[in-house]
Amino acid sequence: MNPMTCRRAVELLIDYVSDELSVEERLLLESHFQKCPPCLIYLQSYQVTIKLTRQLPREAPIPAEMECRLLDVLKAAQTAEQAARMQPPP
């Protein structure tokens, strides 16, 4: 497996806090946290954000029409991003 980079650590963060990493990835990530104070601070702030977000009051659901519009915008953005990745560099 490739050495852990800060970029890869950030990409794996959600899986780490959700306990969805393989044992090997978890160990690599934890080793990276021990050697990289900025990534450890990022992890800690991420965990605090999750904890605080879970404490927020539940709001009424958004209207169905707005939800559909938001999903359409997200899908369009994803499609545009995928298309941009498929194009050869200039």
Residue 74 belongs to what domain range? 6-86
pLDDT in tens, 12-54: 999 999 999 999 999 999 999 999 999 999 999 999 999 998 8
Any domain includes 1: no
Could you tell me the pLDDT band of residue 58, with boundaries at 50, 70 and 90?
confident
| CATH of residue 33 | 1.10.10
Indicate whether 73 belongs to any domain: yes
Number of domains in the chain: 1
**Position 51 in a domain:** yes
Provide the token pair at 88. 């050869």
Burial label, 29 (beta-carbon count in 10 A; 0-12, 13-18, 19+): buried
Predicted TM-score (pTM) of the model is 0.59
Q: Is residue 66 part of a domain?
A: yes
- DSSP 8-state secondary structure symbol assigned to residue 19: T
CA–CA distance, 51 with 61 (Å, rounded to integer): 21
Residue 52 belongs to a domain: yes
Any domain includes 75: yes
* 65 assigned to some structural domain: yes
In a domain, 64, yes or no: yes
